[in-house]
Chains A and B, each alone.
Chain A
Amino acid sequence: MRSARGARGLLVAALAALGTTLAGQAPVIPGAPTGQAPAVDLSGYWTPALHEDLMERGPGAEIADYGGFPLNEAGRLWALSYDPSRVTLRHHQCEAYTAPYQMRALGNFRIWEERDEHTQRLVAIHLWAQTTEGHRVIWMDGRPHPPAWAPHTFRGFSTGRFVGNALVVNTTHMKNGALRRGNGVPESDQATLTEFFTRHGDHLTNVTVISDPVYLTEPMVRSSDFARQPVDPGAWLYACDDGEQILDRPDDAVPHYLFGKQPFVNEFSTRYKLPLAAGLLGAVTMYPELEARLTTATEAEGRALLSPAAGRAPETSKATDREPRDGEIHILPVRDNVYMLVGDGANIVVQTGDQGAFVVDTGEGKLADKVIAAIRSLTPKPIQFIANTSFRSEHTGGNARLGDAGQDPSLLGSFFVTAAPRGVTGFFNDPGAHATMMAHVNVQVRMQAAKAPAAAVPADTYLEDRRRKFHNDDAIEFFYQKDAVTDGDSLIHFRRADVIVAGDIFTTTQYPVIDPKNGGSVQGEIRALNEILNKTVYRHQGEGGTYVVPGHGYLADEHEVLEYRDMVVIVRDRVKAMIDGGATLAQVKAARVTADYDTQYGANTGPWTTEMFVTAVYDSLKNARR
């Protein structure tokens, strides 16, 4: 017999040989998660080389230096309108970086793997950036990307796979932000990102390919180099808290420049003896053809690029359709016991708990049965309260059906319930048979004027600035916005869950449907958006924290509201400046005052067009002067 020592030696040798063999061919385990074996190990500490674009990535790029970016007209005009002092606004001060911008940031990076405790399969690759505490999670377990109505974050939602010797990462659901530091080159919330990470020894290369239908005419490709650090460089935090930087500034003031009025536009071209057009020509600036193109560039051409091209119809939105349009109701958990239901017109919010469901808005009503079924899947309790943010049919269309399907048990057995009919008592003649419907009184007035069925009209109304109710262990507040998109709008705030339902005051899909004939105004809309911003608290670096459910579009937070507020203010300022100069409505429309936002929100057909929005802004400003 062999000795124990000899057996141990043979066993070690055999195991070593076995290890050599098996490591080269990952065992296939039926039913196991699909995490791939890494083809490249990115773990460790990495420092950006900064041997390219050092000034642009550090102090920031110069105004009108947009060369190398395939900007379309909207992107160029957005950048030219940008005033860097916009970051003095409280809500802009701590904004994080979007994923591609983060990869160009100064500061160190740390990368590590997350593995399943039991299978040791790769679940995710984490990347932490020193600047803005940028934490990216690249899911490697094959999970799908969220639906179009899910929240966006600065770093977006990333999934990865190994292809050859590269980690290939696909990122969606990013917030809008900067594509370049300091000079306004924008990236929209519609941008998607493909990245390739390769490692050659201690040299890591990250290639970003940004596709943005809103602001770019073709994908934007950049590459960044990182050097591996042998030890932890430390200092991984990036403290930021916003504060007052300019006192007594009106809260409807957003720093920007009117089209054609950017005062620093010549600095770059003058300093470097380049034609003005050199940095403004979009995609051609990336290619060897630029030199030939500039031989025909004139000063007049450069000047023309500073304003929207005349004589063109407004561009239309290039954004992804946020509506599922599949005839189904989709449930998105928001926070705690609050859910967003998508699929039947305006977004619907449902709060559940020990008491009956509290529903905000009821959609168009075309899928009311499915809405009711969705609510019943969330709670066995009845629909007890329905609150409407607006009288519009997209928000109230399901009132009657949902109301009939619900009941308000708080009325049963109440002192106010009598056997006598309502006509005699003034109280309830059908207690507990329906959900109680709540809204500002103007919703009731407008719906009655439109001869809406009585069963669809909120009966429990309020008149002043605020209504409150404690339900399902949460404090719910209604805040009346007297002249936002209409004269009946309410913001509804679930305080413990910290979810604000904005109705049509805020959407991510279109210009605000300001309706001056029904009491709406651009000034009131701006006030209402600022009211939301006065109530939100971000969780970290300008994102998260308070959720805001838009009337249409994806679940948002204060960042999206902020950008929307900025847009409305900027468009208002442009229209106001033209009115001050004596312009007619036709002249305002021809000036394309929304040219930098049309590829995000614009429409030339349908119920709410760009022209209708511009007209509403014009009319409400004109009305305010009367």
Chain B
Amino acid sequence: MNMLRLNGWGISALLVTLLSAASGPIHAQRGGRGGPPAPPAPRAASPIDLTGQWVSLITEEWRQRQFTGAKNDFGSLNVVLLPAARKIAAGWDPARDAAAGEQCKPYGAAGVMRLPTRVRLSWQDDTALRLETDAGTQTRLFKFGPPQGDGGDWQGVSTASWDYPQAALAGRGLGPAPGGSLKVITTKMKPGYLSRNGVPYSGNAVMTEYFDRFDVPGGDSLLVVSSEIVDPEFLATPYWTSQQFKRETDASRWRPTPCGAR
């Protein structure tokens, strides 16, 4: 190779040039003496602001989401349901649920985000985001860090993190990616309904959600939640949907209602 025919001074000069070009930013990333600084708290590290009041825009699967469907009317869920789910849905009895005090089955974490509702997102503290719904008056808590809690209630245990595109070999050739999303993994939910007419999910369901905020030219802001629900007991494949919400400034539209009011 011609390059290796450089004399010793030439190689040295090239290496010095290259390494000096590389060393500046790398050094800067280390934070100076005393090792790396403590990472900022999740709230301070937010790449996007999700807080505020958002109203759902029911523009897809409209009939099934705006109204309680008839028994066995599954809509697009048809393509993912296993026979076990169909069997349970066929026995759906809302009166029986109410009598058993389980009228909140459609308002669990895996169902409530697809209902016609408003949501409010706020920081409970520096490490946890709170999501409230006025439909069913539910509260989801997205805690950053390791999973916390035993779950077993409608909203289960939600673990949050800020999500950035990652290289397969971290640190090789990728700088920090711009933007970011809120990633929430929810487990240990009390079994509930994916839709109000009794399509079930199990206590072993795992829901992964990505919350993105988009600012539309003209002023509207959108919150889009892309979700995946994995439930081998009832679903043949992961169930993928995305829900959109529009930012609202009129707080008077917030009308908490109990489960089963619709």
Residues of A within 8 A of B (CB): 1-2, 4, 7-8, 10-11, 14-25, 39-41, 49-55, 65, 67-69, 162-166, 168, 170, 194, 196, 198-200, 203, 205, 207, 209, 211, 219-225, 227, 272-274, 278, 285-288, 290-291
21 contacts across the A-B interface (CB closer than 8 A)? A17-B22, A18-B18, A21-B25, A22-B21, A24-B175, A25-B175, A49-B240, A52-B76, A53-B76, A54-B75, A67-B66, A68-B60, A68-B62, A163-B215, A194-B217, A203-B226, A211-B218, A225-B242, A286-B57, A288-B135, A290-B66
CB <8 Å contact, A52 and B60: yes
Q: Note all chain A residues with C-beta closer than 8 A to B218.
A: 211, 219
CB <8 Å contact, B241 and A52: yes
Q: How far is the CA of A69 from the CA of B62 in the complex (A)?
A: 9
Q: Note all chain A residues with C-beta closer than 8 A to B215.
A: 163
Q: How far is the CA of A19 from the CA of B26 in the complex (A)?
A: 11
CB <8 Å contact, A11 and B216: no
CB <8 Å contact, B241 and A39: no
CB <8 Å contact, B240 and A198: no
Q: How far is the CA of A272 from the CA of B73 in the complex (A)?
A: 10
CB <8 Å contact, A51 and B241: yes
Q: How far is the CA of A211 from the CA of B57 in the complex (A)?
A: 15
CB <8 Å contact, B217 and A11: no
B19 within 8 A of A: yes
Of A1, A51, A224, A285, most B-chain CB atoms within 10 Å: A51
Q: How far is the CA of A211 from the CA of B217 in the complex (A)?
A: 11
CB <8 Å contact, A20 and B172: yes
Q: How far is the CA of A272 from the CA of B176 in the complex (A)?
A: 51
Q: Note all chain B residues with C-beta closer than 8 A to A54.
A: 75-76, 78-79
Q: Note all chain A residues with C-beta closer than 8 A to B62.
A: 65, 67-68, 285
A207 to chain B, nearest CB (A): 5
The number of residues on chain B lying at the interface, defined by a beta carbon within 8 Å of a beta carbon of chain A, is 76
Closest 3 CB pairs of A and B: A24-B175, A164-B179, A165-B179
CB <8 Å contact, B55 and A288: yes
* Further pairs besides A23-B175, A165-B212, A287-B116: 11, Cβ < 8 Å: A2-B11, A11-B15, A20-B173, A21-B24, A170-B217, A194-B217, A207-B242, A211-B218, A220-B59, A223-B224, A225-B241
Q: How far is the CA of A55 from the CA of B59 in the complex (A)?
A: 14
B5-38 contact mask (Cβ, 8 Å, vs A): 1 or 0:
0101001001100110111111000000000000
Q: How far is the CA of A372 from the CA of B90 in the complex (A)?
A: 77
Q: How far is the CA of A199 from the CA of B224 in the complex (A)?
A: 12
CB <8 Å contact, A24 and B222: no
Of B26, B174, B179, B246, most A-chain CB atoms within 10 Å: B179
Q: How far is the CA of A199 from the CA of B62 in the complex (A)?
A: 25
A391 to chain B, nearest CB (A): 44
CB <8 Å contact, A287 and B240: no
CB <8 Å contact, B76 and A51: yes
Q: Note all chain B residues with C-beta closer than 8 A to A11.
A: 3, 11, 14-15, 18
Q: How far is the CA of A20 from the CA of B22 in the complex (A)?
A: 8
B262 within 8 A of A: yes
CB <8 Å contact, A288 and B116: yes
Q: Could you say which of B3, B80, B241, B262 contacts A291, with CB atoms under 8 Å apart?
A: B262
- Given A2-B8, A205-B242, check contact A196 B214 (CB 8 Å): yes
Instruction: Specify the main secondary structure of chain B where it touches its partner.
Output: mixed
Q: Note all chain B residues with C-beta closer than 8 A to A224.
A: 242
CB <8 Å contact, A222 and B59: yes
Complex: chain B residue closest to A5, CB-CB: B4
Q: Note all chain B residues with C-beta closer than 8 A to A164.
A: 47-48, 178-180
- Given A39-B177, A166-B212, check contact A7 B11 (CB 8 Å): yes
B165 to chain A, nearest CB (A): 7
Q: Could you say which of A4, A7, A50, A221 contacts B76, with CB atoms under 8 Å apart?
A: A50
A159 to chain B, nearest CB (A): 12
Of B18, B55, B215, most A-chain CB atoms within 10 Å: B18
CB <8 Å contact, B15 and A10: yes
Q: Note all chain B residues with C-beta closer than 8 A to A166.
A: 179, 212, 214
Q: Note all chain B residues with C-beta closer than 8 A to A272.
A: 63, 67, 69-70
B195 to chain A, nearest CB (A): 12
CB <8 Å contact, B175 and A221: no
Complex: chain B residue closest to A26, CB-CB: B175
CB <8 Å contact, A1 and B8: yes
B81-124 contact mask (Cβ, 8 Å, vs A): 1 or 0:
00000000000000000000000000000000000111000000
CB <8 Å contact, A21 and B22: yes
Of residues 216 to 262 in B, which have CB atoms within 8 Å of A's CB atoms? 216-218, 220, 222, 224, 226, 228, 239-244, 246, 262
CB <8 Å contact, B79 and A50: yes
A560 to chain B, nearest CB (A): 27
Q: Note all chain A residues with C-beta closer than 8 A to B23.
A: 17
Q: Note all chain B residues with C-beta closer than 8 A to A65.
A: 62-63
A289 to chain B, nearest CB (A): 8
Q: Could you say which of B21, B47, B210, B217 contacts A198, with CB atoms under 8 Å apart?
A: B210
Complex: chain A residue closest to B73, CB-CB: A272
B51-72 contact mask (Cβ, 8 Å, vs A): 1 or 0:
0000111111111001101100
A346 to chain B, nearest CB (A): 33
CB <8 Å contact, A227 and B15: no
B17 to chain A, nearest CB (A): 9
B186 within 8 A of A: no
Q: How far is the CA of A272 from the CA of B71 in the complex (A)?
A: 11
CB <8 Å contact, B60 and A53: yes
B107 to chain A, nearest CB (A): 14
CB <8 Å contact, B4 and A194: no
- Given A54-B78, A223-B60, check contact A287 B15 (CB 8 Å): no
- Given A21-B22, A52-B60, A274-B67, check contact A287 B178 (CB 8 Å): no
B77 within 8 A of A: yes
CB <8 Å contact, A290 and B116: yes
Q: How far is the CA of A203 from the CA of B228 in the complex (A)?
A: 9
B158 within 8 A of A: no
Q: Could you say which of A10, A163, A209 contacts B222, with CB atoms under 8 Å apart?
A: A209
- Given A7-B4, A53-B76, A287-B58, check contact A221 B244 (CB 8 Å): yes
